[in-house]
Chain A
Amino acid sequence: NAGVTQTPKFRVLKTGQSMTLLCAQDMNHEYMYWYRQDPGMGLRLIHYSVGEGTTAKGEVPDGYNVSRLKKQNFLLGLESAAPSQTSVYFCASSYDRSQPQHFGDGTRLSIL
């Protein structure tokens, strides 16, 4: 019973490099979310999706792009990584917006 799976678990990048974080869920959830969590800041929503083929901006979308080509996958891209994007990134999914979210175990990203 995988739930929400994030890859990779850890990554170190140099400033200016690009990368994609993958989130996969096997619960047939419509909603998917990307958050970042920094010390003392709580969870901040980056982008979210309300269904296959849809994406929308959250609270802190700048510097990130997302895609939801398949219902089960939600990709988060960093086109040109910056040190300010050093963070722990969590993906989550839910059946709809009124239902609880289920989280992946996070990606720890360091930008040097």
Chain B
Amino acid sequence: RKEVEQDPGPFNVPEGATVAFNCTYSNSASQSFFWYRQDCRKEPKLLMSVYSSGNEDGRFTAQLNRASQYISLLIRDSKLSDSATYLCVVIIIPGGGADGLTFGKGTHLIIQP
């Protein structure tokens, strides 16, 4: 099993719909989790951290399921501007250097008018 896995998509979703996708991780010692957004040919940008209790930022909700070892990102009332690739990051703590710091390959989301 790969350290971090994401469904590459694309997810084609109509504008205004709710969409959710997951990121699974293999190491149960993983402690720190983030979601990034990357637009075509641009740099990844931090979207939100993922906390144990779950967290929400406007239309975006991130959740952590430690028992099943995955994090999720839910987008409500999707906008055309939400079209992007969403990357998850999983970090094992403690650790040294960049060991145990893994980016997923991303899920491609397309919001259709």
Contacts and interface: CB of A to CB of B under 8 A. Distances in A.
Contacts of B46: 100-102
A42 B98 contact: no
24 contacts: A40-B105, A41-B105, A42-B103, A42-B104, A42-B106, A43-B44, A43-B87, A56-B97, A56-B98, A58-B98, A88-B41, A97-B91, A97-B93, A97-B98, A97-B101, A99-B32, A100-B34, A100-B46, A100-B49, A100-B89, A101-B89, A104-B43, A105-B42, A106-B41
A42 B91 CA distance: 17
Q: How many interface residues does chain B have, given as a range?
A: 20 to 34
A33 interface: yes
B31 interface: yes
Contacts of B97: 48, 50, 56, 97
B98 A45 contact: yes
Interface of B: 31-32, 34, 41-46, 49, 87, 89, 91, 93, 95, 97-98, 101, 103-106
B96 to A, nearest CB: 8
Nearest to A54: B97
A27 to B, nearest CB: 13
A41 to B, nearest CB: 7
A6 B104 CA distance: 23
A98 interface: yes
Nearest 5 Cβ contacts at the A-B interface:
A42-B105, A103-B43, A43-B103, A48-B98, A100-B46
A88 B40 CA distance: 12
A90 interface: yes
